[in-house]
Amino acid sequence: MDNTLPLPPGPHSEPGFWLDTSEHRTWLKDQAMRQLAFFSASCRTEPGFFILDHDGSPLPNTLQELHTTTRLVHSYALGHLIGFQGAERIIDHGMAYLNSHHKDRDHTGYLWALDGDNIKDDRKLAYGHVFVLLAASSAKQIGHPEADKLLTEVRDVLDTHFWDDEAGLYCDEWNRDWTPFSTYRGMNANMHGVEALLAAFEATGDEIYLTRAGRILDFFIGRIAPAENWRLPEHFTSDWQIDRGYAGDPMFRPAGTTPGHSFELGRLQLQHWDLSGRPNSGAPESSRRLIEQALKDAWLAGGGMAYTLDFGGRVANASRFWWPVAEAIGAVGTLIALDKRQEDEIWYRNLWTFANETFVDHQHGGWFPAVDESGDIVTSIFDGKPDIYHSLQACLFPLSGRLSRMVPL
C-alpha cells in the first residue's frame, strides 16, 4: 500500500501492534464505556430519546428518526456484551418506542420520523428498516423478550416490500401506504442491509440471511468495485445502472462516491467470508483493495477523511466528519485481525491518533461529529453529538479480535 502519511515520532514508529498490548486494549474498553455512559442520558422519561448537546445536556429538538432509535438499541446491546451497567434500560426503552411510535399499525412497516406523538415523516425507507432488523438481531443476541417478535415482523416487511430477488438487492423507498415513492436505488441501504443480514444470521443461524448478504456483496464488491477502480458509486437507476448525474441531499445522498462506505462494506465482506466458513475465494483480497483505495483517496493533509470523492477519486467534499474515521479504524482493525501487516498498523495508529486528538471529547465523553482543517470543532453542521454507533464500534471491533460481530469480548 502506498501510504504517504508522514509518521510522527514516538510510538507510531515502534514495531509491533497496539492491539497486542494490554494498555491499548484497556484504553479501547475504557473509551467504549465512556461513550456508553455519556449517551445513557439520551433516555427521556416519556417515550423516545433526546439528542444530546456537546456537554451531554438534552437538546430541545423532539424529532426522533428511526435510525436513531434502532442504533441506540444495537449499541447498548453491544454495551451489554461488554458488561456496561444500565444497558438494558436503554434497550428496553428503544424496543418499546419502536413498537409504540415507529410501528405503523395501519399499513405495516416502520415510520421514518416522529415529533413527540405526531408523525413527522411517514416514508417507508429500506435504510430505516434494515436498522430495525439490526436492532432486533442484536436484541435477540442478548436474549431480549421482544426480539423474536420484532425480528419476525421486520423480516416480513423487508421480504414483502423491499427485497428484489431478481436483482439480489434491496429497493429503497415507498410512501406510507406502500405506493411507489421513487425509482431511486442506492448502495447505502444495501450496505447496511448486509450489516443487518449478517447480524440476523448470527442471531438465528438462518442461512437465508447469509445468502442474501452474499448476493449484495457480490454486486457491489464483485461487479461494481473492480469496474470502478475500487471506488463505490452510491446511486443507481431502477434497473441498477450507475446514476452518475444524481445529486440528492448533500448530507445523506451526496453525489459521487463516499469512501467511508468502502470501509464499512470492505469490513462487512470479511465478516461474511468468516461466517461462511472462510471459503477459498478472493474475498480477503477484494476487501483489502476496497479499503486501501479509500484510505489512499480520502486521507487529507493534516489528517481526517474527506466526506465525498468524484468518480475519479478526487476530493469533492473535504468535510472531516467523525464517522469515516471511525469506520476506517474498524476496517483496518479487521485487516490486522486477519493478517498482521505493518502497513496496516501504521494506518491504525494514525487513525486513532487523529481521532483521539480531534474527535474524542475527553472532558464530557462521546465524539464531536465534525472538525475543520485545523482540528477545531465545527458546530454549524450537526446539532450536538448525534450518534454513538460509529464511534462505539470503532472501539469494539478491533478489541474483539474477531471478524464476526456479536461476540463476547
Tell me the catalytic residues: 261, 390
Q: Which of 130, 17, 128, 141 is nearest to 82 (CA)?
A: 141
Cell numbers 436492532 correspond to: 135
Q: Which of 303, 407, 318 is nearest to 355 (CA)?
A: 303
DSSP state of 233: B
Q: Which neighbouring-strand residues pair with 164?
A: 169
Q: Which neighbouring-strand residues pair with 110?
A: 103
- Do residues 377 and 371 make contact, with C-beta atoms less than 8 angstroms apart? yes
Task: Record the cell numbers describing residue 137, joined without a space.
Answer: 438481531
Task: Record the cell numbers describing residue 136, joined without a space.
Answer: 432486533
Using alpha carbons only, what angle is made at residue 40 by residues 36 and 45, rounded to the nearest 5 degrees? Answer: 165
Distance CA 321, CA 304 (A): 8
Distance CA 51, CA 62 (A): 8
One-letter amino acid for residue 247 of the chain: A
Q: Which neighbouring-strand residues pair with 257?
A: 233, 309
Beta strand residue intervals within 136-255, DSSP E: 163-164, 169-170, 173-174, 185-186, 235-236
Distance CA 172, CA 183 (A): 8
Does residue 103 sit in helix, strand or coil? strand
Residues with Cβ < 8 Å from 137, sequence gap 6 or more? 147, 151, 196, 199, 200, 202, 203, 204, 406
Distance CA 201, CA 213 (A): 10
Q: Which of 377, 383, 372 is nearest to 360 (CA)?
A: 377
**Is 285 exposed, middle or buried (CB count within 10 Å of its CB: 0-12, 13-18, 19+)?**
exposed
Helix (H) or strand (E) holding 321: strand 315-321
114 CB-side CA count, 13 A: 22
Q: Which neighbouring-strand residues pair with 305?
A: 299
